[in-house]
Structure 1
Amino acid sequence: MGSTEKSDSDGVDKKVDLDTILIQDVGQFGRYQFITLMLAALPVIFSAFASGEYIFTVGRIPSRCRIPQCDGSNPEYAPPWILNAIPGTSLTSFEQCERFSNSSQGSDVTGVCPAAWFDSSRTEPCDSYVYQHSLTVVYDFDLACDEWRRSLIGSIRTIGTLLVLPITGFISDRWGRRVALTLNAFNTGWIGLVRSFVNSYEWFLTLEVLESSVGAGAFSSCYILVMELVGPKYRVAAGATISTMFAVGQVLLGFIAWGVQPWRSLTQVLYAPQLLVVSYFWILSESVRWLMSKGRYEESEEILKRAAKRNKKELSEKSLQALRATAEAEKYKEKIKEPWLPILVIRSKMVLLRCMVSPIWWITNTLVYYGMNINAVNLSGNQYLNYVAVAAVEIPGFWTAVLLLDRIGRKPVLIGGYWICAACQFTFAFLPEGNDGAALAVYLVGKFCIAMVMTSIYVYTAELYPTKYRHNLLAFSSMIGRLGSITAPLTPALALMVWESFPSVLFGSFALLSGVLIFLTPETLGQKLPDTMEEAQQLGKKTPA
């Protein structure tokens, strides 16, 4: 039986797919895949720059009301007389958005800006502002006390990342992963550079959403390109490596922002190098899986031969012929019409349940992950080092997931990660003031856990759905999950206007809920990846011996 399964006469009966070729002939992860992974690391690092730079370029600046009768042409932010004109307790702690009303006292009172010029029983909002520095767009666009307009920049950018998913998906499926990658990176680079020269809030906002709408797909393009090239054994590790490179990019962003603080210069330093990724169109090989799906067998076979040679393997002509026959058979099957996917999902109660709960996991992931990044700069101490620490702790989180997923299972890792993260968020919210060291430690443990969950949820969600619809259903959860990343930039404003600990309580509540919802779905460790809706429905059910 074993010999006949590989014979030319019935080779199509036993699928000889690309995974089989990678395992038996090319190598699941060799020198060729390593070089591709390292090349993909650079656009991923640039993606981290683009996704996080607004945290620094749009950062809040301490401000106060301008006092016309006291401030000269070059006013000092905290002059000795400040508490005469503005409510406060010290020269470092005073109101940023209101001042004492003018009194009816005559102007002949002696002293520099004396208290008699102001009525301390009445306050009024500022007419204009004095800023502590001019390093962010808050100064250029006069956003001193307009916290919602400042926060809107981050949310608008994230809405663009929602729009980029179908745009990049169409480009990737129509013209290839390599085209999608280079086009996204180039768009990010030139639009980011243009944005560094604008002088109006409206144009800045417009370019933010445009940049993310046509450029934020570089990360997903790199992720798919690498995943489609490595063998099954190394996909989790390769995915964790891509995530690690994103975290490395965030760490570098923190140090670069510390060294280049004016927002225009910082934007130019971060975005100009991204134009170089255009060269990847000629340097990087296209995805073999995509080429085969388009019937471009000669090109795909040439890449496989090159990969085998680089990995010091030998690819037989017989394997290539069997692979081509299988690909042709799969293309023929795709022409057979099936019911619309939503109809198939509704007919399968278990798959429908997963489609209802998995988007909540993804909302939690993006809300907590990006929310903790954004709020890291508001922790006590050096904001740049805090951001670096919160980004760096993701790396051990990613690899802890890799170590545990195949040992204790998907569900224990996810439930434990969500619930420990929730405990850390609630602890951070109610920790007494003055415990800065403990607060930072709790914050870092929470970020470690959500990073561990982030890696695990990609693997787990993909394993819950059948092969033919896996990408669509995973993309559905991911797209709904963007609601979390849209909300995350608004949490600093909510902390100011609602309650200082509101963001942490919000993060903890979602993490607690998501951990509970994991109980509604089956364990997938050791289970065969489902190919059909029926097989997906049977996941987790005991089969008779």
Structure 2
Amino acid sequence: MAESEKGERKGVDLDSILVEEIGQFGKYQILTLALAAFPVMFSAFAAGEYIFTTARVPSRCLIPQCDTENPEYAPPWILNAIPGTSLDSFDNCEKYANSSTITPRNVCPADWFNRNEVVPCDAYVYENTLSVVYDFDMACNEWQRSLIGTIRTVGTLLVLPITGYISDRWGRRVALTINAFNTGWIGLVRSFVNTYEWFLVLEVLESTVGAGAYSSCYILVTELVGPKYRVIAGATISTLFALGQVILGFIAWGVPSWRPLTQVLYAPQLLVVTYFWILSESVRWLLSKGRYEEAETILKKAAKRNNKELSEKSLQALRDNAEYEKTAEKPKEPWLPLLVIRSKVILFRCCVSPIWWITNTLVYYGMSINAVNLSGNRYLNYIAVAAVEIPGYWTAILLLDRVGRKPVLIGAYFLCAACQFAFAFMPDGNEGLSLAIYLIGKYSIAVVMTSVYVYTAELYPTKYRHSLFAFSSMIGRLGSITAPLTPALAQEVWEPFPSVLFGSFAALSGLLIFTTPETLGTKLPDTMEEAEQLGSRRI
């Protein structure tokens, strides 16, 4: 009698099908990864463009009695009217009080000003017009400028449950195309706005309904490859994101004005909507939804592309499960928060792992944002800081299965902390050494980023892994929300403050890793009880 006739079924083991029949990483998976490369790099454009479009623009006070109709940023007389030490170093936000009402132009003697009294600017002259800082007249309002990045990252927090719902309800392919298309058209509209308020609204709207393209690609690709290549596929996606940041730096260097730059970056993203017809849906998602006929069609297509053949045994298992799904009753799921509260071990991990994720996003995005404020060419600095992530991702892949999860994470966190503190208190005049330490710090947080994805997933049971992993990731967005404010903290509070903050969080996270079990060589837990016993069970 068939399994379906007994009211039972054999589960479809997709990993076994990939390993034994279709191939874990053949032409079909490579093609899917190649297609995913574009929306991943476009996600990097969207995540980082505000670093350039809202970049700080040097400014000074407008001196009405001295400035001409088209004022020069640093005229020869500037130190007569504005406090400073040279034509390259003068106050951006204050001027000497007037001691005269004379209003001729082209001359500006010092005796026109009271050098014992300094007053705020009434209006400003900008060094260039490349950023929204000029268009929205934000010369000395550093907090208003930094708020743009924070508002954007608030949207990346909101997008997680929205994209998760779309992805789980209608599929990874639908979530990807909706997010990419929304990013493209909203970004283009934003390039035409003329008010700060509308710019903010469109920033948060774009990230809220469009920033989920990266996670959709990540899940789609990792669900398609075999278990042997899953971590490598994830690292490849991360590498493509870093490559997107590098390309962004070069594009911003070549198109520095914010409106055309935004249009160049966002217009190509509209093409990703074609992926709805080009890209196949995740087989794993189709199986989880009981859509076995569609899964069978895609598996046959994958097998053919990889020059393989799906066995009759697997085909029959798919058909038996399809029949079973039509009559099976779904068991009632227990409420997850209650299960977590009942388990002190899992509850502790749910308190600790979000701190790792807050550190990751705070340091990762904070270092990218502050890279443009380092001495030297800001575009080259940003490119170097993005490029150094790539060896970090592959270092993690090289070490995780050799020395263990905990040693890699502890070492990378502590190395990052040491670099942050060293950079914060580095004496002036050591620009080359400072940049090298900065790059090592970014390299180490890239090692952490890849490692913590793997480690966090391994700490939780299969049935609730996605939900508990998503909880840590969502709380971790508090770090990326705070990161855009760090340039303002450096300017308004204390210049080394961001690096000290990054280092403190990295050191704390490294210490917290000691409190959780090593997962190298352990079987992935399927139940809460197995997850609680991690560290004592080996495969």
- Aligned equivalents of 1:210 and 1:162: distance in 2? 12
1:322 aligns with 2:313: no
TM-superposed deviation, 1:59 = 0.1
From 42, 45, 49, the counterpart of 1:46: 42
Q: Distance in 2 between matches of 1:48 and 1:411?
A: 29
Number of the residue aligned with 1:468? 463
Structure 1 residue 484 and structure 2 residue 479: aligned? yes
The alignment status of 1:229 with 2:221, answered yes or no, reads no
Match of 1:138 in 2: 133
- Gap change, CA 1:40 and 1:542, over 3 Å in 2: closer
Within 5 A, what are the aligned runs for 1:132-531?
Answer: 132-323=127-318, 325=320, 335-531=330-526
Structure-2 residue corresponding to 1:75: 71
Distance 1:333 1:445 in 2: 55
Question: Are the equivalent residues in 2 in contact too, given 1:368–1:450 (CA < 8 A)?
Answer: yes
Q: Specify the code of the residue in structure 2 equivalent to 1:119.
A: N
Indicate the larger mover: 286-295 or 27-36. Answer: 286-295
| Count of aligned residue pairs for this structure pair | 538
For the residues of structure 1 that align with 2:329 and 2:373, how far apart are their CA atoms?
Answer: 52
Counterpart of 1:61, as a letter, is: V
Task: Quote the Cα distance in structure 1 between the aligned partners of 2:260 and 2:489.
Answer: 30
Hey, what's the Cα distance between the residues in 1 that align with 2:140 and 2:467? 43
Q: Distance in 2 between matches of 1:391 and 1:162?
A: 22
Partner of 1:29 in structure 2? 25
d(CA) in 2 for partners of 1:14 and 1:418? 44
Shift of 1:174: 1.3
1:10 deviates by 10
Identity of matched residues, %: 77
Structure 1 residue 23: deviation in Å?
A: 1.1
Name the aligned partner's letter for residue 376 of structure 1. Answer: A
Q: 1:348 Cα shift?
A: 1.1
User: Tell me, what secondary structure is at the counterpart of 1:520?
Assistant: coil
Q: Aligned in 2, Cα 1:327/1:262: closer, same or farther, shift over 3 Å? A: same
After TM superposition, give the deviation of residue 325 of structure 1 in Å: 4.4
Describe the SS at the equivalent of 2:519.
Answer: coil
Query: Per the alignment, do residues 333 and 295 of structure 1 end up closer, same or farther by CA in structure 2, a change over 3 Å counting?
Result: closer
Q: How does 1:85-96 map to 2 (within 5 A)?
A: 85-96=81-92
From 100, 107, 113, the counterpart of 1:118 = 113
- Cα distance, 1:297 vs structure 2: 1.2
Aligned-partner SS, 2:224: coil
Shift of 1:425: 0.3
Out of 26, 36, 60, the position equivalent to 2:56 is 60
Distance change (3 Å), C-alpha of 1:339 and 1:12: closer
Residue type at the aligned position of 1:260: V
Shift of 1:381: 0.5
Question: 1:327 and 1:219, CA in 2 relative to 1: closer, same or farther beyond 3 A?
Answer: farther
Distance 1:331-1:526 versus aligned 2 partners, 3 A rule: farther
Letter of the structure 2 residue corresponding to residue 233 of structure 1: K
Aligned to 1:3: none
Judged with a 3 Å threshold, the aligned counterparts in structure 2 of structure 1 residues 38 and 263 are, in CA distance, closer, same or farther, namely same
Name the residue aligned to 1:100.
96
User: 2:534 is matched with which residue?
Assistant: 539
Of stretches 325-334 and 366-375 in structure 1, the one that deviates more from structure 2 is 325-334
Whether the 8 Å CA contact 1:293–1:331 is kept in 2: the answer is: no
Partner Cα separation in structure 1 for residue 164 and residue 104 of structure 2: 70
Letter paired with 2:238: S
CA distance in 1, matches of 2:6, 2:418: 57
Cα offsets for 1:259-312 (capped at 9, x unmatched): 001100000000000001011011100011111222221111010011111111
**Alpha-carbon distance in structure 2 between the residues aligned to 1:229 and 1:366:** 27
1:541 Cα deviation after fit: 1.9
Superposed CA offset, 1:217-267 (max 9, x none): 000000010011011110000000000000000000000000001100000
> Aligned equivalents of 1:193 and 1:344: distance in 2?
45
1:109–1:116 CA contact under 8 A, matched in 2: no
- Structure 1 position 345, deviation (Å): 0.6
1:373-432 deviations in whole A, cap 9, x for unaligned? 000001110000000000000000000000100000000000001000000000000110
Partner amino acid, structure 2, of 1:69:
Q
Contact kept in structure 1, 2:66 and 2:106, CA below 8 Å = no
SS across alignment from 1:122: strand
CA-atom RMSD in angstroms: 2.1
Residue 228 of structure 1 aligns to a residue whose secondary structure is: helix
Q: 2 CA distance for matches of 1:490 and 1:267?
A: 22
What amino acid sits opposite 1:66 in the alignment?
L
Segments of 5+ residues of structure 2 without an aligned counterpart are none
Matches of 2:238 and 2:90, distance apart in 1: 42
Q: Is the 8 A contact 1:292 1:327 kept in 2?
A: no
- Assess, with a 3 A threshold, how the Cα gap between structure 1 residues 58 and 328 changes in structure 2: closer, same or farther: farther
- Report how far residue 324 of structure 1 moved: 5.0
Q: Distance in 1 between matches of 2:515 and 2:300?
A: 45
Distance 2:327 2:368 in 1: 47
SS state at 1:33 partner: helix
CA–CA distance in structure 2, aligned partners of residues 337 and 174 of structure 1: 18
Residue 111 of structure 1 and its aligned partner are, at CA, apart by: 8.3
DSSP 3-state at the match of 1:134: coil
3-state SS in 2 of match to 1:124: strand
CA shift digits 1:79-98 (9 cap, x unpaired): 11100100000001000000
- Pick closer, same or farther for the CA change 1:162–1:110 going to 2, 3 Å: closer
Q: 2-side partners of 1:11 and 1:338: how far apart? A: 20
| TM-aligned CA distance change 1:336 to 1:264, over 3 Å | same
Given that 2:242 and 2:390 are in contact with CA atoms closer than 8 Å, whether structure 1 keeps it comes out as: yes
Q: For residues 370 and 35 of structure 1, what CA distance do their matches in structure 2 show?
A: 30
Unaligned runs of 5+ in 1: 1-5
1 CA distance for matches of 2:406 and 2:399?
11
SS at match of 2:140: coil
Q: 1:327 and 1:237, CA in 2 relative to 1: closer, same or farther beyond 3 A?
A: farther
Q: Return the TM-score normalized by structure 2.
A: 0.96
How much has 1:473 moved relative to structure 2? 0.3
